Amino acid sequence: MDEKIEKKYRIGDFAEVTGLSSPTLRYYEKEGLINPHRTENGLRYYTEQDVDWIKFLLHLKSTGMTIEQLKQYVKWRAEGDSTIDKRVELLEEVRSNFEKEFENLQNSWTILNDKLDWYKGKVNGHIEDSESFAAYLKRLNHHE
Amino acid sequence: MDEKIEKKYRIGDFAEVTGLSSPTLRYYEKEGLINPHRTENGLRYYTEQDVDWIKFLLHLKSTGMTIEQLKQYVKWRAEGDSTIDKRVELLEEVRSNFEKEFENLQNSWTILNDKLDWYKGKVNGHIEDSESFAAYLKRLNHHE
DNA sequence: ATTAAACTTAAAGTCAACTTTAATTAATTG
DNA sequence: CAATTAATTAAAGTTGACTTTAAGTTTAAT
């Protein structure tokens, strides 16, 4: 009987591979976002699956999911395949919100670049001293 | 002597055009981010320039600038043209951080989409029940 | 076998960015 | 001109997402 030996991480090592701190991992556990195993003496340990989950969770967090939403997602996941629709619906909502926000971000990035170009135009004389940034934006047709 | 009559906004109207709340505007003022005028009776009023400034400030905030950084920016702006270099440097740093974060966001968005595709593949049978999401990502060459 | 490093817990503390409260005054509307 | 609506202030409260503290236990290294 050969057992597949899976790597086990204690909290400090797991913190290192995930980029989170040990207290954050304990906090996530308290919130129900992750459920590490325990040694017979009560020490946590994490597996490769836990690594995959935390990586995915961090992507979800980046796209704007809150701890509360993640909690709900985990709860549904634990309930099994009957909740796939709900999970998909939640992720689709997150995606939709993210896409709106993403467009705003692109716009803000454009305006930031415009401002830098404007400053540089002022300094090197390619933009008239009298032209306000608002007027400059209007000229470029970059609104809002 | 014809005077150009500029539109004046009281705080409630200004809140409406900027999308901020009145308390937030007072908070920004306390932090030194905006300096409205006052009527003889002490009521704040804001001008079109203030609208432009708040719109720009909100873009800066979107790209990740904190209130503290905005404070610094405003302080430099008040000091005049001699601080243009510093302001440009600050904005360039903000842009650079934003660009890094933006790449992460794009990646997270990809992974979120992959997850939704994976769920849908599971449900409609295009993806084998046995294929984990991690394996699916590996197959797509979408890593991290 | 000792000691240092890493772990355990529950509870309190921090931080940024607002938001709410309370008591008062100004402006607008019927 | 009374009543409603909108403004004023300072100070306290809220929220989400952690972080720190304190007091003890387990593991690893010499």
Neighbours of B3 (CB within 10 A): 5
Q: Which nucleotides of strand D come closer than 7 angstroms to any CB of the protein?
A: 6-9, 16-21, 25-27
Please enumerate in sequence order all residues whose Cβ is within 8 A of that of B56, keeping only pairs 6 or more positions apart, or say none: A111, A115, A133
pLDDT beyond 70 at A129:
yes
Bridge partners, B38 (sequence order): B44
pLDDT band at A5 (very low <50, low <70, confident <90, very high): confident
Cβ separation of A112 and B52 shorter than 8 Å? no
Q: What is the DSSP string of chain A?
A: -PPP----B-HHHHHHHHT--HHHHHHHHHTTS---EE-TTS-EEB-HHHHHHHHHHHHHHHTT--HHHHHHHHHHHHT-GGGHHHHHHHHHHHHHHHHHHHHHHHHHHHHHHHHHHHHHHHHHTSS-TT--HHHHHHHHT---
Residues of B in contact with A88 (CB under 8 A): 116, 119-120
* Number of residues in chain A: 144
> How do residues A87-118 score in pLDDT, each as one tens digit?
999 999 999 999 999 999 999 999 999 999 99
Bridge partners, A44 (sequence order): A38
Q: Mean per-residue pLDDT for B50-70?
A: 98
Mean pLDDT score of chain B = 96
pLDDT beyond 80 at A1:
no
- pLDDT, residue A8, reads 96
Please enumerate in sequence order all residues whose Cβ is within 8 A of that of A94, keeping only pairs 6 or more positions apart, or say none: A60, A63, A64, A65, A69, B112
A100, A101, A105, A111 alpha-carbon torsion, rounded to 10°: 70
Classify residue A42 as left (phi > 0), alpha (psi -120 to 50) or beta. Answer: left
- What are B86's two structure tokens? 């510093």
* Cα A59 to Cα B103: distance, rounded to the nearest angstrom: 12
Alpha-helical runs (H) found in chain B: 11-18, 22-30, 48-62, 67-78, 84-124, 133-140
Cβ separation of B95 and A112 shorter than 8 Å? yes
Q: Are A111 and A137 in contact (CB under 8 A)?
A: yes
Please enumerate in sequence order all residues whose Cβ is within 8 A of that of B121, keeping only pairs 6 or more positions apart, or say none: B127, B136
Is B135 an 8 Å CB contact of chain A?
no
What are the CA-CA distances from residue A34 to residues A8, A63, A105, B59, B135 (Å)? 15, 19, 31, 36, 20
pLDDT band at A4 (very low <50, low <70, confident <90, very high): low
Q: Mean per-residue pLDDT for A26-36?
A: 98
> How do residues A62-87 score in pLDDT, each as one tens digit?
999 999 999 999 999 999 999 999 99
Mean pLDDT score of chain A = 96
- pLDDT, residue B2, reads 57
pLDDT band at B4 (very low <50, low <70, confident <90, very high): low
- What Rg value do the Cα atoms of chain B yield, rounded? 24
Residues around strand C, C-beta < 7 Å: A 10-13, 22-23, 26, 42-44; B 21, 23-24, 27, 39, 41-43, 61, 66-68
Q: Mean per-residue pLDDT for B135-139?
A: 96
Neighbours of B141 (CB within 10 A): 6
The CATH code of the domain at B1-62 is 1.10.1660.10
> How do residues B91-112 score in pLDDT, each as one tens digit?
999 999 999 999 999 999 999 9
**Which residues 21-80 on B are within 7 A of strand D at the CB atom?**
22, 26, 42-44
Question: Hey, where are the domains in chain B?
Answer: 1-62, 66-144
- pLDDT, residue B6, reads 85
Determine if strand D comes within 7 Å of the CB of B8: no
Cβ separation of A105 and B63 shorter than 8 Å? yes
CB contacts < 8 A (A, B): 89
- pLDDT, residue B1, reads 55
Q: Mean per-residue pLDDT for B50-62?
A: 98
Residues of B in contact with A122 (CB under 8 A): 84
Which nucleotide has its C1' atom closest to residue A31's CA?
D17
Cβ separation of A84 and B122 shorter than 8 Å? yes
pLDDT band at A56 (very low <50, low <70, confident <90, very high): very high
